[in-house]
Amino acid sequence: MKDVELGSTPIDKLAELLLPDRRERLDEVIDWGREVLDGRTVWHVNATASGGGVAEMLLALLAYTKGAGIDSRWVVLDGSSPFFTLTKRIHNLLHGSDGDGGALGEEERELYEEVLRGETEHLLSRVEEGDVVVLHDPQTAGMGRALREAGAHVVWRCHVGKDEPCERTDKAWAFLRPYVEDAEAVVFSRPAYVPDWVPEDRVRIIPPSIDPFSAKNEDMDRDDVDAVLERTGIVDVPGGAGSVKFSRRDGSTGEVRAYDDLVHGGQVVPADARLVLQVSRWDRLKDMDGVLRAFTDHLDDLPDDVHLMLCGPDVSGVSDDPEGQQVLEECTKIWEDQPDEVKPRLHLCSLPMDDIDENAHIVNALQRHATVVVQKSIVEGFGLTVTEPMWKGRAVVATRVGGIQDQIEHGENGLLLDDPHDLDGFARLLAELLADDDECRRLGEAAKESVRERYLGDLALIRYAELVRDLLE
């Protein structure tokens, strides 16, 4: 088990963006938290400190709680490769996908419990009676019983799910149920994800949120965007007078390093190209290869100046996702099979993960440079990769699945594809949007305001505080 170093962000910084009633409510729960949690620690446990929306959200929220004077700590599991293969299988099944098709029998249960037994013993040496422990996703569910027996208050937070239960989701829940039932409360992103066997009084619904001041979401002017994309060798723009410096979570200043190998095949995006961008893990459920095939199959329907970029993490830097390398290789094969005249319009980009603040700043620049951001997930728990470009005022085309449909109202603040497997329909939405600059602008402006109203971090902090209050009372 490893500690994740947390910065400390003044809560007043976030409060400046809020209307008076929300700011007042935030002040109330922070004051309550300082008083009631004095002498207690709030622990968060998950599988990785980088490479996904859960890690990004924790990095932001816990920095605010520390800044508010609440003792918050974050630790990640140090599991084995077979363990993470198993938990990825459970993850896929919860989404309704077969994943690797492997079993969830007694042998798998023994592996799961053996790994978590050692991780739990390590955590128990640090957790004190009365502390609050929030366990995130399937990887950690099996730690709850021992922590509760030691006198801690235990919450299990599930970030994934499927709107309609099926045989696959039932299989995953049958495996997880004995562990989930040990938690005092369970948190989901959407009501549709809650299994019918979870007692209603234990359920809380807390949608994810973004931090507008993080390296991924902070304001950037055009010169700084160009400087970052030129320095990283992703877009062929002149660096000019822009800065490649960024603010780290700990308050220090970082500087984007120079790269020349982030784009596979060396196909740099031309400066005058309009960019369609998808940023996500190299995960089958994100359907990166589907985006690539939809684009290449309909090039004649798209303007000649439009390019596509699929951007994901360097797969060696994401410890809990063994599928990443396979998906990247499949996308690379599709790219390699294209005619020479098509390849320059397709770009596969892997961003380094050894500096998560730098990674976030590069993503920020890419999303601000893009004309349209897409998220063609087959299933999606929530989709922070939708929330983030919406906050930046980008027009987003995404699938009507999971939490995405909570964020986007079709035609109002983005566009939704009803069937995630409809490649023709996806290309048609793209072509229509790219033909109308005014519509792109209108959707982007509406998108930013909807995020301000519904998905900034104060709402998540308030809901977590209310949950903890209920547990302690």
Domain boundaries, the chain: 2-209+456-472, 222-454
Q: Residue 295 and residue 307: Cα distance in Å, rounded? A: 9
The whole model's pTM is what? 0.86
Q: Distance of CA 142 to CAs 72, 172, 183, 324, Å? A: 22, 14, 10, 25
Residue 95 falls in which region: left (phi positive, over 0), alpha (psi -120 to 50) or beta: alpha
The phi, psi pair for 257, rounded to 5°, reads -80, 160
**Helix (H) or strand (E) segment spanning residue 223:** helix 222-231
| Topology of the domain covering 222-454 | Rossmann fold (3.40.50)
Residues of the chain with pLDDT under 50: none
- Which candidate, 359, 372, 371, 429, places its Cα nearest to that of 400? 429
Q: Classify residue 49 by its DSSP letter.
A: S
pLDDT of residue 317: 64
pLDDT of residue 179: 98
In CATH terms, are 2-209+456-472 and 222-454 the same topology?
A: yes
SS3 at position 120: helix
Residue 186 falls in which region: left (phi positive, over 0), alpha (psi -120 to 50) or beta: beta
Q: Residue 309 and residue 278: Cα distance in Å, rounded? A: 6
**123, 151 contact by CB (below 8 A):** no
How many CB atoms lie under 10 A from the CB of residue 80? 12
Assigned CATH for 2-209+456-472: 3.40.50.2000
Residues 6 or more apart in contact with residue 389 via CB below 8 angstroms: 277, 367, 370, 373, 396, 447
